Structure 1
């Protein structure tokens, strides 16, 4: 920002010098010329007057002619002096013009710096710098430095002192404060956004999430109200759907938790942050339904079913309290599962049926065509994402249109 001010100041000085110096030089030249012209007129008047007196004394003209010619000579001198006086008056006005021009330029610069968009330009520069630094850190496999983001937050707060009604600045404050884990500031920013624009998409859900995180990942009455308000405005608001699923799960309403999280998965692109967590939540909700005595996930009305057996290779042993994940995914189409089973590690071999009720999407007849891969994983951490030390096995490709009668997935490797 200092470089911007210095550059603007130097350019202003250069512009003033390029205008004022020629004008000042012209004024000096005109002033000298005016004084010389005035001196010359006086000398000419005196010479002509002496000639008139000499003509009168020699009898070349009479008294009446002398008086008439002398009067005409005085009139000419007065006319020349009046013209010179007018020029001198004009020259005296030039300094005022120069000062006015200088004040106008300086005043315009001050007004721009004080009231213009210089601060917005600086905020944009800081945002771009933070984005580039974070991207470079991620490419290098490093944790991004949060200090530049904190500096950006301070710049946003400084700007808000003169622009307290600017919703965009409050949103920026909430967004960047959330990134550094400062949920109190994030709540302040998103609350201002909600107060000023309560019906804007995401206004209620962003505030709900900031309060939830700042409250130790607990749902309170305000969060619940904001979640309902957000879903009334946009039934596909993924932030609100995620929080609604958490609320239902905490109330042991596992079917609703599954339903909310499935809708959130549908609205979240593959590879987007949070999608894996949502899918793991769906699997957990389905597992809890079975643990509570709910009907098994196998459904006679499912459009497809995959009966399979999971076995454990000799020499491998599942850790106590580990979790078994079994999922189907499209072959050579990325890691995202199409259907997931989650449950406690059984006595192997174990028979499991994957069907459409376990799908990570509600699209009809999802897996009727194409090739799939079956994966079984024993997770000691209970997380859906693979971790070092997990046990895993896979089988594929399998043609969904011609599945073998007996399918066995052997867990035979340690990650």
Structure 2
């Protein structure tokens, strides 16, 4: 539409410029004037046709412009008569104006116009956003000099550098912030490790691992630290360490985030497989009415010296009131601890005796010295936990193996 209006304005301007000159021509030059008008007319028609073909004009706009051309350039112009020599000179001036004005207008448009392509617009917007962010970051840096105890401000500044993919600067911000907080903030430690790894093509060296270890020593259940510690161990082919970290992280994921649990379980199973461990049984999705118990099992620190990694670990559910036969059972090794499993009716020892058979069950974990299913003296066990399926079809519990069976 802009091109249409610009073309019409240019033609209108030419009309008023050429009219006085054309009026000075003699009657003998009328045919030349007509030829000039016709030439201009056909040239403009060609231009409009080209714009139509390129999609710059639609049919309605094209017809409107064509009508304006016909009214403007075909109209016969009369005026006073002059001598033929003067008529020739005036005709030359008119032709010069008719050609030079549109060309000059186009040249000015190219140099002064704000029109830009889609890619140029995108680049300009990105540049503007970057400039705005850098200005805000400069203001934030000044504020932090005046108030270095602004923990959130340091985090925001570092994350801004990360957004701009300036990882070295982000790392420096976090390390500077740590000096103001006695190297004791776990979030800053993890963020510094993350930025340092990103600056090093996502490689986690001992430096980054030490930052993560320090964060976990301050806050053992720091989810981001557990994820990166497991990821770093996996990249460095320390798969058993990866299993340890990701198993702890899996226990922290709420049931309201099944997609996160499923994704993390896939990573965890990959690490377990590479470490030579048995794959966890984790359902991708559970029907709302399907009974299932998520069981997180850990070993009390005081009992670590009393087990060997190859001893048998049983995790099972049995009827709260009824036969002692396990209704759902998972068999692992003590070396798998800590571990998370899901008990379902598919894990029943007898198909007709499963989690659907009783309204209430008790769940427990036991490390068997002999590998036998029947409890024996010296086995290590957890306390039993009751699960009431009449209240909910799914449940999540945590068991701590902290007793010796007598």
Same fold (TM over 0.5): no
TM (norm. structure 1) is: 0.37
Structure of larger gyration radius: 1
